């Protein structure tokens, strides 16, 4: 890789990091390309050169943010020996709360913008589908392992992953909207309760420090 290419990749990451912050704070409709350019000390023309449009920038910013989440999640799960502990940790990391490695409010705001844009933009819709599929497959892989190891009830792992992902998405919207009845803590309790009901009482144990 040439030095020029390395510099370009570094600049692209800088732009994506700024896009996550700015779009997460203001929403896509109220974000201008010039806002992100100002944050990164570059020109709007360069951002357009890299991404083409705000919709494209949104999709790539969310993908970038998701990649960081999965990298942090893989590190967290690596030290947890059981599928039940891993699923609990995954649920904790995806419930809308702040903290290192978590899907925080900022990322859920990006998701809400993406869902809206996906209704009218086939390219964004395809990106949304790929991201959601990866998320469900992550859940499904853990559940399949738990079934094989005798930790979980013998459920359809794919169908369970679909239901769990939909529940997380729906509750996250309520948390983002500051619904007084749906706090991040209640979201966690509801999601864990659903998993326990389907996978078996006590199936989703709390994981601490890599030990269950």
* pLDDT score of 124: 83
The rounded Cα 199 to chain-centroid distance in angstroms is 23
Pick the CATH number of 56-199 from 3.40.50.300, 1.10.357.10, 3.10.180.10, 1.10.260.40: 1.10.357.10
The token pair that represents 10 in the structure block: 């570094």
In the CATH scheme, what is the code of domain 1-52?
1.10.10.60
> What whole-number distance in Å separates Cα of residue 187 and Cα of residue 92?
10
The token pair that represents 37 in the structure block: 């350019």
User: Residue 3: is its pLDDT beyond 50?
Assistant: no
CA atoms within 13 A on the CB side of 168: 25
If we measure between CA atoms, which residue out of 208, 170, 162, 209 comes closest to residue 187? 170
Domain ranges of the chain: 1-52, 56-199
Decide if 1-52 and 56-199 have a common fold: no
pLDDT digit string (tens) for 41-100?
888 888 888 888 888 888 888 888 778 878 888 888 888 999 999 999 999 988 865 544
If we measure between CA atoms, which residue out of 29, 17, 13 comes closest to residue 112? 29
Rounded to the nearest 5°, which phi and psi values hold at 123?
A: -65, -45
């Amino acid at each position: 890789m040439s030095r020029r290419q390395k510099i370009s990749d570094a600049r692209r990451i800088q732009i994506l990091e700024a896009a996550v912050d700015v779009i997460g704070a203001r929403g896509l409709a109220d974000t201008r390309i010039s806002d992100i350019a100002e944050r990164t000390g570059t020109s709007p023309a360069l951002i357009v050169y890299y991404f083409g449009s705000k919709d494209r920038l949104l999709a790539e910013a969310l993908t970038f943010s998701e990649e960081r989440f999965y990298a942090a999640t893989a590190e967290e799960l690596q030290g947890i020996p059981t599928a039940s502990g891993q699923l609990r940790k995954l649920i904790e990391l995806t419930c809308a709360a702040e903290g290192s490695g978590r899907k925080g409010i900022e990322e859920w705001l990006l998701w809400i913008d993406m869902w809206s844009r996906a209704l009218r933009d086939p390219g964004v819709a395809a990106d949304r589908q790929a991201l959601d599929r990866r998320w469900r497959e992550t859940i499904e892989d853990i559940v399949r392992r738990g079934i094989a190891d005798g930790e979980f009830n013998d459920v359809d792992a794919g169908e369970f992953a679909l239901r769990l992902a939909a529940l997380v998405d729906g509750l996250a919207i309520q948390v983002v909207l500051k619904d007084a009845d749906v706090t991040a803590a209640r979201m966690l309790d509801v999601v864990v309760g659903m998993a326990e009901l389907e996978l078996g009482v006590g199936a989703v144990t709390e994981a601490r420090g890599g030990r269950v």
